[in-house]
Structure 1
Amino acid sequence: MHTVAVLALDDVIPFDLATPVQVFSTTRLPGERAGYRVLVAGEAASVDAGPLRIEPGVRLAEAARADLIVVPGRHDPTRPTDPAVLELLRTAVARGTRVASICVGAFTLAEAGLLDGRRATTHWFAAAQFARQFPAVHLDQDVLYAEDGPILTSAGASAGLDLCLRIVERDYGVAVAADAARIAVAPLHRSGGQAPYILRNRPTGRTGDLESVLAWIEENAHRRLTLAELAAAAGLGVRTLSRRFTEETGQSPMQWLTGVRIRHAQELLETTDHTVDRIALQVGFPTSSNFRTLFAQTVGVTPGVYRKTFCSG
């Protein structure tokens, strides 16, 4: 039997803490034997969890002896972590213990220096902040979870469930993991990643000199636009526009335009019954085949699959 310690840190997200507790507590081996011993560990007698108060069952010292330590996310992931927690995680990894994070719990692992040079993920909404704060981490914001040696990280909310089921599969095989998935009423493996959920290229009001041209692109993306037309709308030369786009958005002007068109297409797929071919033309793609290819490359699923997943009816 494996021992799992889930850390109850102050400001913890209750869902992130409950997911590993539920999955590992209900995992059963042949003969109805428990697969895991689950502990909820914290340094304080009780911790704030938004609308809840949580009383950890054991102290951090007990978590140090676990086979797997799980770090849930916190409502404010940039909040400094208790040095005792960071030291616990560093010591555990040095000893060979597996460590996993749920959602923005990856910030805690990165703060401990455990993700430097490693591939990791976190909730897409916090990915930009994470990349700025921890540039040494190889962030992959499109996947549901990432595995790099003894360190495992997951994306937001339900992706923590995907990660926990993956851990069960690694520990006990597909049959036991499939049974755990049935108990959770969830697929053992989900296709795709975070990509379909990401809001792409939405102006934020913090884009410096490009604010006006981004708003112009938003209104005119459905037109057959050229780079020269974008530059003219910005009142800049083509080279200057391209340089500023790269500096401020990390993309070329045409890449940004494509992202806006795809976001507009996502909205139409969610809210209308227009055909995919019609939507392609509505949002500015020259052909439906070009639209389907770029949509799948960007979002990670086809327009048809996206509609089935997100259509409001």
Structure 2
Amino acid sequence: MGRIGETDLLDRLAPSGRGTWIVQLGLGLLATAMAIGLRTAIDSFAPAAGPFVLGFPAILIATLFGRWQAGLLTGVLTLLYSWYFVLPVRHTLALKSPDETARLALAAINYLAVIVIAELFRRAVRRASDERDREIAERDLFLEEFDHRVKNNFTLVAALLDMQRRRAREAETQAALSSALARVDSIARAHRHLYRGAAASHGAVDMAVYLEELSAALADALFLRGAITLDCACDHGAIPRDRAVSIGLIVNELVTNAAKHAFAGRESGRIEVRFEATPQGWRLVVRDDGVGMPADARPRKDGGLGQKLIDGFVRQARGTATTETGPGGTVVTVVLEA
């Protein structure tokens, strides 16, 4: 019912305000014609039954869509029609008895009451709709401002880390700062893809589009060109935004690790990212054909920061991860519940 109250045909058919009365006249006549058509059908098997009943829905529809003027016109026309064609003394405005006069007056009063109530309801719904639209506009503006500030903060943090990395003299410190910078870039990249002002309000992400864009960005950032390639093949599926961020960060960590360590001593290789629908939910697979992981670097409970981050992202995404590695490469499979 609230959606009906929001549908103001005058705003759509006469947005400039000119011709408003023509639209209201048309709506009033249309609603009246519908009531008369139903009245004619009813008279074919129940003559004079409820002579004023059909006026109520006609007035209600006319008022909700065309404001009180259209409702008033519909009420007058349907009342005159019922008076002239339906009441016992047909084809005349003469009334048979004082009871008919009271009946006609009561119908007119009820018609006016319907017009008043419908108009008040329409105005209340319209005010609520306008307030909702205003709040949405303010929220979108806030999200855009928030998005802008977050981007600036990511840029500032990345610049500070990069500056400190360049100033560091110890190789170990440079490596640690480079790793931190890469992870900040990863989170910033996820933000750029998933938190885009008003688009963030949708709340769900098409994973095929997101992961393909993310893979392309990773290939550029990691300089994967020529002999080392990154392929991505994903099924389309809507995933809640926050969960999609975790999945994207898992992909980022796994692809980055593969690019840095899987092809030591080799000039060629391939990294694959697959995101597939399963009967139980989703499956993410990151595979490389590198040299495999040495025994002392394989996932363990007390693993390094990278492994702890992956484990944390997997938990946030509500999944479980398994790793298979050998001389032919490494495959990490993350099973995600629906």
TM-score above 0.5, yes or no:
no
TM-score (norm 1): 0.25
Greater percentage in helix? 2
**Whose Rg is larger?**
2
Structure number with greater CO (CA < 8 Å, separation at least 6) is 1
TM-score (norm 2): 0.23
